[in-house]
Structure 1
Amino acid sequence: MANGTVRPASHDLPDERGVSRRLLESAAVLAYDPATEVDWETPLDKDFHGASPEWSTLYGTPYWAELTEAQRRELTRQEAASVASTGIWFEMILQQMVLRDVYAKDPTGADFQWALTEVAEECRHSIMFARGAEKLGAPAYRPHRLVIELGRVFKTLAFGEAAYAAILVAEEVLDVMQRDWMRDERVVPFVRTINNIHVVEESRHMKFAREQTRKRLARAGRVRRHINAFVVATASYFIVTSMVRKQVYESAGLDVERAVAEARANEHHKSMMRASCSGLMEFLASARLLTKPALAFYKRANLI
Structure 2
Amino acid sequence: MTITAPSPEQDAAAFRAEVERDGVLERLLSSSAQLSYDPEKEVDWDAPLDPLHDGVNPEWCTLYGTDIWERMSPEQRATLTRHEAASVASIGIWFEMLLQQMLLVDIYDKDYASSEFQFALTEIADECRHSIMFAKGAQLIAGRSYLPHPRLHQAAKLLKLTARNEVAYTSILVAEEVLDVMQRDWMRGASVAPQVKTICKIHVVEESRHMKFARHETIEAMRGISEVRRKASALQIASVGYFIVKSLVQPDVYAEAGLDVKEAVAAAKNNEHHHALMRLSCVHLMDFLSEAGLLTPAAKRLYRRVHML
How does the TM-score come out when normalised to structure 2? 0.93
State whether structure 2 residue 262 is matched by structure 1 residue 262. Answer: no
Measured after TM superposition, the shift of residue 15 of structure 1 is 1.9
Counterpart residue identity of residue 80, structure 1: A
What is residue 22 of structure 1 aligned with on the other side? 27
Counterpart residue identity of residue 125, structure 1: H
State whether structure 2 residue 201 is matched by structure 1 residue 189. Answer: no
Measured after TM superposition, the shift of residue 106 of structure 1 is 1.2
Task: Say how many residue pairs are matched.
Answer: 295
What is residue 243 of structure 2 aligned with on the other side? 238
Where do 1:115-134 residues align within 5 Å? 115-134=120-139
Post-superposition CA distance 1:42-69 (Å, at most 9, x none): 1221121010001000001110011111
Counterpart residue identity of residue 157, structure 1: T
Task: Please say if residues 138 and 251 of structure 1, whose CA atoms lie closer than 8 Å, have aligned partners that are also in contact.
Answer: no
Where do 1:45-84 residues align within 5 Å? 45-84=50-89
Post-superposition CA distance 1:239-266 (Å, at most 9, x none): 1100000000011111111100100000
Aligned with 1:139 (options 134, 137, 144)? 144
User: d(CA) in 2 for partners of 1:160 and 1:12?
Assistant: 18
Query: SS at the partner of 1:197?
Result: helix
State whether structure 2 residue 46 is matched by structure 1 residue 41. Answer: yes
Post-superposition CA distance 1:156-197 (Å, at most 9, x none): 111000010110000000000000000112100000000000
User: d(CA) in 2 for partners of 1:87 and 1:16?
Assistant: 29
What is residue 256 of structure 2 aligned with on the other side? 251
What is residue 13 of structure 2 aligned with on the other side? none
Where do 1:90-101 residues align within 5 Å? 90-101=95-106
Counterpart residue identity of residue 42, structure 2: E
Q: 1:108 to 1:141 in 2, by over 3 A?
A: same
Counterpart residue identity of residue 21, structure 1: E
What is residue 102 of structure 1 aligned with on the other side? 107
Measured after TM superposition, the shift of residue 16 of structure 1 is 2.0
Measured after TM superposition, the shift of residue 120 of structure 1 is 0.2
Post-superposition CA distance 1:18-48 (Å, at most 9, x none): 2111000000110000011100011221121
How does the TM-score come out when normalised to structure 1? 0.95
> Please, which moves more after superposition, 23-32 or 252-261?
252-261
Aligned with 1:86 (options 91, 102, 111)? 91
What is residue 4 of structure 1 aligned with on the other side? none
Alignment gaps of 5+ in structure 2? 1-15
Identical amino acids, percent of aligned pairs: 54
Task: Please say if residues 50 and 77 of structure 1, whose CA atoms lie closer than 8 Å, have aligned partners that are also in contact.
Answer: yes
Aligned with 2:229 (options 221, 224, 234)? 224
User: d(CA) in 2 for partners of 1:166 and 1:103?
Assistant: 19
CA RMSD of aligned residues (A): 1.3
What is residue 151 of structure 1 aligned with on the other side? 156
Alignment gaps of 5+ in structure 1? 1-10
